[in-house]
Amino acid sequence: MASGVVGGRRAAVLGSPIAHSLSPVLHRAAYEAAGLTGWSYERFDVDEAALPGFLDGLGPEWAGLSLTMPLKRAVIPLVDEISETAASVDAVNTLVLTEDGRRLGDNTDIPGMVAALREHGIEQVDSAAVLGAGATASSALAALARICTGEVVAYVRSEARAAEMRQWGERLEVEVRTADWADAAEALRAELVIATTPAGTTDALAAAVPERPATLFDVLYDPWPTELAARWSMFGGAVVSGLDLLVHQAVLQFEQMTGHTPGPLAAMRHAGEQALAAR
């Protein structure tokens, strides 16, 4: 079990923009709950051009980094080793820095999604729908590769995006069928709906929520609830939030960077909820 060392251990989240990241709140709460008094966690605004120099300047006190946009793909050529999970979606959100100077890249978004669903009782589904086709949608497909036994329908705005999602499906060995965004209301009848779109995109779908909805996983967390999530809850459906995802992926990062397991999930969630309420 790792603990504070002489001079302290450091971690941080990198990205651009980064000011609104909740990662420092979550990780600092974890350090406090776990009694890791020598640890600190910061945020740095770093873009793709600045990333190599930033990494080269890190000393031995650094234990790890969380990476957000636009660095998840840019960091790949800069790591010594990449996990199968990260390689499957060409995205690294976690960099563990070893004592011998190696950089190990991983992706905790995918197992974080699976863990968030499991916490809400979703272990396996026969089919699912994905709203959107960006980077988060590919992570959603990777998560569905672990829990969905049948077809995934992806609702997208263009044929180019549709082609991308079909390619991701082939790569991840998920049966993907694409449909036009104009028909996205049909997605809401699926056993599991994963909304991966930016804020406001699904608001117009709220009126189409069926009387007995199943499970919605909306990856947004600020503002929360989204109109779709609020309507879904009102009709008695199960809702998994972006904060659930954020906390579960952060717990996995904490465990990898500190060696302290299990990570303090409840303390991290409470801190995240308080920070969002303060906004």
Which residues are the active-site residues? 72
> Using an 8 Å Cβ cutoff, are 14 and 64 in contact?
no
Q: How far apart are CA 178 and CA 166, in angstroms?
A: 7
Residue type, 205: L
Those residues whose C-beta lies under 8 Å from the C-beta of residue 178, and which sit 6 or more positions away, are: 153, 154, 155, 156, 162, 165, 166
Strand duo 94-97 + 62-67: pairing? antiparallel
Residue (of 44, 99, 109, 55) closest to 77 by Cα position: 55
> Using an 8 Å Cβ cutoff, are 202 and 131 in contact?
yes
